[in-house]
Amino acid sequence: MTPFRLLFASLLALGVAACGGSSDEASDAAQAGVAEEPAEEQLASTLLEIIQSEARFSTLAAALDAADLETTFDTEGPLTLFAPSNDAFGSLPTGFSVDVLTAPENQALLQQILAYHVLGERVTSSDITGQQTEVPTVGGPMLRIDASGEIVIIGSEPATALVVVPDIEARNGVIHIIDGVLLPPAE
């Protein structure tokens, strides 16, 4: 474990607590005092296999299925996925419930939302430490990343999220768990 990861996990836990967050992922990292290290079997797994195998991603797995994007996360790479946890999907704004978004008539909208959570390159926490930047998503719109302070903030007001668990490594990319669902800017 690098000193950065230990510091990042500690600061992240303090930041989430200060924001009133009660994410299970953040408290797990805080209790352990460390960020999650990739398990040996995860490095052999694709992003999709990790998403499908972990209970905290069951809503995301269902959304990927409804959006018909499973193949993308199983074969392509490298990718960076800012993955909303189940709790994050539970805090969607009015009119954007999971049931509404996963309805067949909303597949294109769901694809746009999910594509806004994905970068077409592998970006780890050490790649962005101390930076504020905007990066293109695979969906097209730019995504703001602010890693200049104690916590990492993804997105732009009013739809921002905190990275609660960074750097879950997969064979075809990396996952950073976030505490919100990002909505792409209106065109």
Residue given tokens 């990275």 in the structure block: 163
Q: Which residues contact 54 (CB under 8 A, 6 or more apart)?
A: none
Residue-number span of the structural domain to which 106 is assigned: 43-178
According to the model, what pLDDT value does residue 127 have?
94
Q: What is the mean pLDDT of the chain?
A: 80
Determine contact, residues 57/89, Cβ cutoff 8 Å.
no
According to the model, what pLDDT value does residue 25 have?
42
Asked whether residue 21 is domain-assigned, the answer is: no
Peptide bond into 141 cis (omega under 30): no
According to the model, what pLDDT value does residue 158 have?
77
Where residue 172 falls among pLDDT bands split at 50, 70, 90?
Answer: very high
Q: What is the CATH number of the domain that holds 48?
A: 2.30.180.10
Tell me the per-residue pLDDT of 81-140, one tens digit each, with 9 for 90 and over: 999 999 999 888 777 788 899 999 999 999 999 999 999 999 999 999 999 999 999 998
Asked whether residue 75 is domain-assigned, the answer is: yes
Residue given tokens 């994050």 in the structure block: 88
Asked whether residue 162 is domain-assigned, the answer is: yes
Phi-psi region of 164 (alpha: psi -120 to 50; beta: other; left: phi over 0): alpha
Asked whether residue 153 is domain-assigned, the answer is: yes
Asked whether residue 126 is domain-assigned, the answer is: yes
The domain tally of the chain equals 1
Tell me the per-residue pLDDT of 21-70, one tens digit each, with 9 for 90 and over: 334 444 444 333 344 444 544 567 999 999 999 999 999 999 999 999 99
Residue given tokens 């009119």 in the structure block: 95
Mean pLDDT on 160-173: 95
Question: Cα–Cα–Cα angle for 22, 23, 24, nearest 5°?
Answer: 115
pLDDT at 167 over 70: yes
According to the model, what pLDDT value does residue 20 have?
35
According to the model, what pLDDT value does residue 80 have?
97
Asked whether residue 5 is domain-assigned, the answer is: no
Tell me the per-residue pLDDT of 12-22, one tens digit each, with 9 for 90 and over: 332 333 333 33
According to the model, what pLDDT value does residue 179 have?
96
